C-alpha cells in the first residue's frame, strides 16, 4: 500500500486560474478531497474554484463548518473532520483539504493543523494567493514598497487598534468589512485616508466590484460578504484605474 | 495589428510550480518578456522560475536594475525600461514583465507602474505567492487567525518601529533579515519571542533552509540573501515541524 498524505491547498481568492500550478497538478491525482461548505448543503466556493482540475477518481467530501459562536459545537466539528482525514491518510490515501485564499492566513485549515500536526502523518501545505494580493493587482493599487510596512487587520478589531494600524503602517489591509462599512469609512475620513483607499468585493470572480471612491458608496449599499479595503497612504486611489 | 498589452506577472518565491495557472498560460503566448537581472550579466532568478513555461517565440529582454543608492541612476534605468516596454506595447506586442513574489508588495514592478499607469496602455497585473506565505506553508507555521493581525516589516526599519509592530500584532513578518540577523535576534530575545519565531532562507528553492531555533544559529552563520523571519506570538516554533 502506498503511503497516505494530506495536502492542504490554498485555492486563492476565487478565479480558478489563480491557483498555483502545484495545486492544479495535485488536484488531478488526489483520492479524496475535503471541501468546506459555507452552509449545510450549500455550494462550496473553494470547491467551485478547483473543480476543473479534479481527476475523475477524486471522491469529494463536503463538510459544513458552522459559523456559530458556540465553541463546543465548532470544536466537535473540527475534531470529527480531523479524525476522518487522519483515517483516510492512514488508509494510504492522497487526501486534499482546500481552503480559500492562502492556507496559513485567516484560514480555517489551521484548526485542522492544530489537531493533526503531531499525529506523524505525511503533510504538505500549498500556499495560495491572498485576497488582498489579488485586489492590489486587479485595482493596480500597490501594497507596501521599500522601507514601508503593511498591516493586515480584521475590521472586527477595536477602533483604537485599527486607528493605530492606520497611523503606524503605510499600507493597511482591512478584511471583514462586511456589516461594518460605515464605521470604517468614517474612521478613514477622520484620518484623512479616504482618497488613499480602494475597496473590492468578490475579487477575481465574475461578480467582482471595485469601489475607488468610498464616499460615493450609498449608505444602504448591499456589500458582498467578501469585501476588503486596501489603504496605501503613499498612493492615491485616483492614480490607479 | 492586434492590440498590445502589458502583463506584470508575480513569479512567487522561487519554485516554478508556485506560479499561478494564469501566469503559466500567459507565459506561453507572450511576444516579449522583460526580466530583472540582479547583477549585470547575472542570472535572473525570476527568469529561471518561469523558463519552463515560455513559448518558443518569446523574446527575452533581461534588464539590470542597479541596487545603488544613487536615485538618479535608478530613475534613469526605470525611465528607460518603461519606455522600451511602452514602445513594444504600442507596436502591438504581448509584453510580460516578471517580478519575484507578489507583484504589488515590495516589488520593483511598481516603479514601472508609476511610469506606465497613465499612458493609456492595456495593462493587467497577475498576483504571485509572497515569500512569507510560502514560508508559513513550508514550515507549517501559521500567520494570523480570526481576530489576530499581521504586520509585514522590513528589518531596515528602526528598532522602535519593529518593537512596536512586535507588540501590536500577533504575527509579524520580518523581511530583509540579511546583514541584520544578530540585532533582530537580540530584539526577539528581549521581547521573549524567540520561541515563537521561525526563519527560512530560499523558501521553495532547492537551497531552502529552515531555522526553528534562532538561538542555535551561529553568530557567523552565512545567511542567504532571501532570509525571512515569521513571528507568531500565538504559536510555538516547536509545535510545527
Q: Is residue B219's pLDDT more than 90?
A: no
pLDDT at A4 over 90: yes
- Touching check for A148 and chain B: CB below 8 Å? yes
Please provide the size of chain A in residues: 241
Residues 81-110 of B with CB under 8 A from A: 102-107, 110
| Closest approach of B135 to chain A, Cα-based (Å) | 9
Cα–Cα dist A70/A141, whole Å: 39
Chain B residues with beta carbon closer than 8 angstroms to that of A14: none
Answer with the residue of higher pLDDT: A69 or B54: B54
- Which pLDDT score, from 0 to 100, does residue A225 have? 85
Of the spans A104-108, A191-195, A219-223, B225-229, which averages the highest pLDDT? Answer: A191-195
CB B44 within 8 A of CB B97: no
Could you give the domains of chain B? 5-126 (3.40.1010.10), 131-232 (3.30.950.10)
How far apart are the C-alpha atoms of B65 and B77, rounded to whole Å? 7
Distances (CA, A) of A94 to A4, A62, B8, B85: 5, 16, 35, 45
For residue range B121-150, what is the model confidence (pLDDT) as tens digits? 999 999 999 999 999 999 999 999 988 999
A-B contacts at Cβ under 8 angstroms:
180
Contact across the interface for A104 and B130, Cβ inside 8 Å: no
pLDDT at A68: 73
- The confidence band for B118, taking pLDDT boundaries of 50, 70 and 90, is very high
pLDDT band at residue A238 using 50, 70 and 90 as cut-offs: low
- Residue A75 predicted with pLDDT over 80: yes
Residue A73, C-alpha cell as written in the block? 459545537
Any B CB within 8 A of A75 CB: no
Under the banding of pLDDT at 50, 70 and 90, the label for residue B67 is confident
Instruction: Name the closest residue on chain A to residue B113, using Cα atoms.
Output: A140
- Residue A47 DSSP symbol: H
**Which of A10-19, A120-129, B187-196, B212-221 is predicted with the least confidence, judged by mean pLDDT?**
B212-221
Query: How high is the pLDDT of residue A146?
Result: 87
pLDDT of residue B40: 57
B121–A contact, CB cutoff 8 A: no
Give the pLDDT band (50/70/90) at residue A239: low
Query: Over the stretch A119-141, which tens digit does the pLDDT of each residue have?
Result: 999 999 999 999 999 999 999 99
Q: Is B136 within 8 Å of A161 when comparing Cβ atoms? A: no
pLDDT at B52 over 70: yes
CB contact under 8 A, B144 and A18: no
Task: Tell me if A151 and B146 make a contact (CB, 8 A cut-off).
Answer: no
What are the backbone dihedrals phi and psi of residue B222, each rounded to the nearest 5 degrees, phi first? Answer: -85, 95
Residues of chain B neighbouring A130 (CB-CB closer than 8 A)? 130, 133
pLDDT in the model for residue B65: 82
pLDDT for the residue B146 = 87
pLDDT at A21: 98
Confidence of residue A17 (pLDDT cuts 50, 70, 90): very high
pLDDT of residue A41: 55
Q: How confident is the model at residue A220 (pLDDT cuts 50, 70, 90)?
A: confident
The pLDDT tens digits for A78-104 are 999 999 999 999 999 999 999 999 999
* Per-residue pLDDT tens digits for B152-195: 999 999 999 999 999 999 999 999 999 999 999 999 999 999 99
Q: Within a 10 A sphere around the Cβ of B63, how many other Cβ atoms? A: 17
- Nearest in space to B194 (alpha carbons), one of B162, B159, B148, B232: B232
Residue of A nearest to B165 (CA): A168
User: Are residues A127 and A104 in contact, defined by beta-carbon separation less than 8 angstroms?
Assistant: yes
Confidence of residue B39 (pLDDT cuts 50, 70, 90): low
From the number of C-beta atoms within 10 Å of its C-beta (0-12, 13-18, 19+), residue B198 rates as: buried
Cell 547583477: give the residue: B39
| Per-residue pLDDT at A38 | 67
Pick the residue of A142, A162, A170 with the most B CBs within 10 A to test the interface with B by mutation.
Answer: A142
Whether A1 has a pLDDT exceeding 70, the answer reads no
pLDDT band at A117 (very low <50, low <70, confident <90, very high): very high
Q: Residue A231: helix, strand or coil by DSSP?
A: strand
Residue B211 pLDDT exceeds 80: yes
A166 contacts A229 by C-beta, under 8 angstroms = no
Amino acid at each position: 500500500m502506498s503511503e497516505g498524505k494530506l495536502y492542504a491547498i490554498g485555492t486563492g481568492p476565487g478565479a480558478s486560474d489563480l491557483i498555483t500550478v502545484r495545486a492544479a497538478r495535485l488536484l488531478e491525482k488526489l483520492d479524496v478531497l475535503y471541501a468546506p461548505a459555507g452552509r449545510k448543503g450549500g455550494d462550496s466556493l473553494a470547491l467551485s474554484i478547483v473543480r476543473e482540475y479534479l481527476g475523475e477518481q477524486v471522491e469529494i467530501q463536503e463538510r459544513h463548518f458552522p459559523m456559530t459562536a458556540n465553541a463546543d459545537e465548532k470544536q466537535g466539528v473540527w475534531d470529527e473532520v480531523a479524525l476522518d482525514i487522519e483515517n483516510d491518510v492512514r488508509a494510504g490515501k492522497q487526501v486534499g483539504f482546500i481552503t480559500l485564499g492562502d492556507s496559513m492566513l485567516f484560514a480555517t485549515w489551521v484548526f485542522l493543523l492544530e489537531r493533526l500536526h503531531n499525529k506523524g502523518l505525511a503533510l504538505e501545505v500549498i500556499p495560495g494567493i491572498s485576497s488582498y494580493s489579488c485586489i492590489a493587482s486587479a485595482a493596480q493599487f500597490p501594497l507596501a514598497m521599500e522601507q514601508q510596512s503593511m498591516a493586515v487587520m480584521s475590521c472586527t478589531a477595536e477602533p483604537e487598534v485599527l486607528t493605530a494600524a492606520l497611523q503606524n503602517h503605510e499600507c493597511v489591509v482591512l478584511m471583514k468589512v462586511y456589516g461594518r462599512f460605515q464605521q470604517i469609512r468614517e474612521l478613514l475620513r477622520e484620518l484623512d485616508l479616504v482618497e488613499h483607499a480602494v475597496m473590492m468585493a468578490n475579487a477575481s470572480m465574475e461578480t467582482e466590484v471595485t469601489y475607488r471612491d468610498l464616499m460615493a458608496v450609498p449608505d444602504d449599499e448591499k456589500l458582498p460578504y467578501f469585501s476588503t479595503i486596501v489603504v496605501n497612504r503613499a498612493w492615491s486611489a485616483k492614480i490607479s484605474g
